[in-house]
Amino acid sequence: MPASPIRKLVPYAEAAKKKGVKVYHLNIGQPDIETPQACLDAVRNHQMRVLEYSHSAGNESYRKKLVEYYAKNNIQVGANDIIITTGGSEAILFGFMACLDAGDEVIIPEPFYANYNGFAIQADVTVVPIRSNIESGFALPPIEDFEKAITPKTKAIVVCNPNNPTGYLYSASEMETLKEIVLKHDLFLFADEAYREFCYDGNHTSAMHLKGAEQHVVLMDTISKRYSACGGRIGAFVTHNREVLNAAMKFAQARLSPPYYAQILGEAAVDLPDNYFDSTRNEYKLRRDTLVNRLNQMPGVFCPNPGGAFYAMAKLPIDDCDHFCQWLLESFSHNGATVMLAPATGFYSSPGLGKQEVRLAYVLNADAINQAMDCLETALQQYPGRTN
């Protein structure tokens, strides 16, 4: 089991803070956006007397409410197509465990969300990466690359849209391409759509919109980013495939139930006004523009403009992003501050890739991002491992 590439730097950040250095956290997808008051109030005002187990599939009232939420997104599902999970993490794990046998292969365009690897290892499944490139902004690799990677053991493709870590927003035509591949080779399409609402240049195409692929698609969802409710640990496993849902239910039953409190929060969230996401989206767009502009103004830095989520990948003039990110915390400060980034190597499973790249989560406000970019700009001038 690998250590989390994002969390392994935490002790260095803690040490920096103990020295009195302010750390700008662009390393993790923990938004500073406030959780909607109506959601927090729903939990505060709930009149429970016993904090009971919920149904293993989650509270029925919440699942029914989610049906409304999905309908607003042109996704037609019933309450019985949904299992409430403990975070999006568990939805991914259930997908791997319910759909794949030990030794099966799952194709994932890299760079990809590092924890897919951890869940694959838990499920004894092999991740087969297909490379996407920073030069193309991390667009879907050509279909030939998928065809080359498919073996008799291939059972699924994972698509994270908009993407973590790249911020790439897959187009409708790219999603159609994925549909054709999964239909042709009878694969599952695991769709991680945690950032569905955060699209800045174009509309979101859900895997659940792909007509004819209903029995192949498993949606892995979460309220964490959508409502700034990461600590609630509530996600959803959604599919029209009854056999897959029944298999996932066995894992859901083994862990008894998802957490109760944040189901109350998630249920209230569906009743937020329809324009709720507008201000959040505008705020993230401002941050993205600030971040990407600053990065591309730095000599030797390249950052493609991400169309969604709240991540950007940047190529830096450095020898090794793991060294650099640790050095930022251990050996550098600028006006009493430094910046914490996620080394991109943790998002590639092919050894040696991503050594000059970092992921930046624009989860701080524009002022803080500017401060953090001041740190990064200065750091790149001082870093002993700078390349040309």
For a copy of itself, the closer of residues 40 and 298 by Cβ is: 40
For a copy of itself, the closer of residues 143 and 249 by Cβ is: 249
From the list 52-60, 156-164, 291-299, 335-343, the region that binds a copy of itself by CB under 8 A is: 52-60
Short-list 166, 85, 154, CA closest to 347: 166
C-beta of 51: minimal distance to a copy of itself in Å? 4
Is 262 a binding residue for a copy of itself by CB under 8 A? The answer is yes
Contacts with a copy of itself: how many residues (CB under 8 A)? 58
Convert residues 79-108 into a mask of x (bound to a copy of itself by CB under 8 A) and - (unbound). -------xx-xx--x---xx---x------
Residue 165, preceding peptide bond in cis (omega within 30° of 0)? yes
From the list 117-125, 139-147, 282-290, 325-333, the region that binds a copy of itself by CB under 8 A is: 117-125
C-beta of 126: minimal distance to a copy of itself in Å? 14
Environment class of residue 149 by beta-carbon count within 10 Å: exposed (0-12), middle (13-18) or buried (19+)? middle
Instruction: For residue 123, give every residue at least 6 positions away whose Cβ sits within 8 Å of its Cβ, in sequence order, or none.
Output: 93, 96, 97, 100, 102
Environment class of residue 120 by beta-carbon count within 10 Å: exposed (0-12), middle (13-18) or buried (19+)? buried
Is 43 a binding residue for a copy of itself by CB under 8 A? The answer is yes
Tokens representing residue 355 in the block: 């050594």
- CA 109 – CA 149 distance, rounded (Å): 11
The CA-atom distances, in angstroms, between 10 and each of 25, 108, 171, 189 are 10, 27, 35, 33
Is 3 a binding residue for a copy of itself by CB under 8 A? The answer is yes
For a copy of itself, the closer of residues 198 and 260 by Cβ is: 260
The CA-atom distances, in angstroms, between 238 and each of 217, 291, 364 are 9, 34, 31
- Check: CB of residue 236 under 8 Å from CB of residue 84: yes
Considering only residues 285 through 344, tell me which ones interact with a copy of itself, judged by CB under 8 A: none
C-beta of 190: minimal distance to a copy of itself in Å? 16
Short-list 184, 167, 164, CA closest to 176: 184
Strands (DSSP E) contained in 175-216 are 188-192
Convert residues 175-214 into a mask of x (bound to a copy of itself by CB under 8 A) and - (unbound). ----------------------------------------
**187-201 as b/e: b if 16+ CB within 10 A:** bbbbbbbbbbbbbbe
Tokens representing residue 171 in the block: 């187009």
Q: Which of 15, 48, 71, 172 touches a copy of itself (CB under 8 A)?
A: 48
C-beta of 34: minimal distance to a copy of itself in Å? 5
Convert residues 121-150 into a mask of x (bound to a copy of itself by CB under 8 A) and - (unbound). -x-x--------------------------
Q: What is the total residue count of the chain?
A: 388
Q: Which of 9, 16, 24, 54 touches a copy of itself (CB under 8 A)?
A: 54
What does the DSSP assignment read for 18-79?
A: HTT-EEEE-SS----SPPPHHHHHHHHT---SS-----TT--HHHHHHHHHHHHHTT----G
Convert residues 214-253 into a mask of x (bound to a copy of itself by CB under 8 A) and - (unbound). --------------xxxxxx-------------x-xxx-x
For a copy of itself, the closer of residues 50 and 144 by Cβ is: 50
For a copy of itself, the closer of residues 87 and 308 by Cβ is: 87
What percent of the chain is helix, strand and coil (3-state, nearest 5)? Answer: 40, 15, 40
The residues that touch a copy of itself, with contacts defined as CB under 8 A, are 1-4, 7, 28, 30-35, 40, 43-45, 48-54, 56, 86-87, 89-90, 93, 97-98, 102, 115, 118-119, 122, 124, 228-233, 247, 249-251, 253-262, 265
